[in-house]
Amino acid sequence: MITFPNQKKSKKALLKQAIPKSKEFFFLCCLLLTLGCSSNFDIVEERLYFYDFESDYTNIDSVFVSEFNNTRVLGPFNNSGFSSHWDNLPEHQYIRLTFNLYIHDTWEGNSNDSGNGLLDHDAWMIEFDPHLKVKPHEKVYFETTFSNGPCIPGWCFTQSYPDEFPSNNRARTEANPKDFYGRCLYEDTPTGTSLYRVDKIFPHNKSSVVIAFYDRLKQDAPFDKLCEESWSLDNLTISLIKR
């Protein structure tokens, strides 16, 4: 059991990490209100599982493993992904996810500029319990976009991350300062892969959960899809938060 060592810092972190979606925002407001009114309030964070994806793929569906940055990662994925499923969870009100997300090659972020007038962003999603039939406003998910594209004044392939789609942020906003070579199409480009340390908290209180990570990448160029753009994921920690 882990208790946040710094209550003040934890509140700030919660505010920054939480998902500004209306349905989640309600839960977040309740949490922050309670935090602000209680001087002896304990938030307990318990690690459910940590994956480094070197050899242990417990409760992972669709295991697809490769090597990148001298470590094993899940992926690469293009118009696919994976999920982690858990039953018999102890009491909790939130689930926290932290992981390294590698964005490989030509991601265009909010728009692929295909000129067809259609929504054609490079979407990346986390979705909770996608198998459950619930009303749209009850669905817990986070949809965003990433961009490895150029970003100069007047010509920028913007991305939504760290916010939800649609939001306008510069390409590579909040990416790790150190870039990596691309995985395939940009394998000779030292900035061809960007790395994000994602840290998000979602409202969840059921005793079982399926957490899905997937994309809906859009492409016009006549390259192999997995070579043109893809993503992979490593060092995933799933934690339960109880208040």
Question: Which residues lie near Ca ion (CB under 5 A)?
Answer: 52-53, 71-72, 108, 112, 122, 218, 234
Give me the least distance between CB of 73 and Ca ion, in Å please: 6
Give me the least distance between CB of 223 and Ca ion, in Å please: 11
Half-sphere exposure of 33 toward its Cβ, with a 13 Å CA cutoff? 6
Give dist(CA 9, CA 179) in Å, integer. Answer: 28
Nearest to Ca ion by Cβ — which residue? Answer: 71
Handedness of CA 148, 151, 157, 162 (dihedral sign): positive
Helix axes 22-37, 7-17, angle to 10 degrees: 170
Give me the least distance between CB of 84 and Ca ion, in Å please: 15
For Ca ion, the closer CB: 66 or 71: 71
For Ca ion, the closer CB: 99 or 128: 99
Tokens 């961009």, located at residue: 147
For Ca ion, the closer CB: 3 or 79: 79
Cα 159 to its chain centre, rounded Å, is 14
Three-state SS for 17?
Answer: helix
Structure tokens at 19: 């998902």
For Ca ion, the closer CB: 55 or 88: 55
N-to-C CA span, the chain: 13
For Ca ion, the closer CB: 83 or 112: 112
Q: Which of 79, 48, 83 is nearest to 63 (CA)?
A: 83
Give me the least distance between CB of 171 and Ca ion, in Å please: 13
Give me the least distance between CB of 238 and Ca ion, in Å please: 15
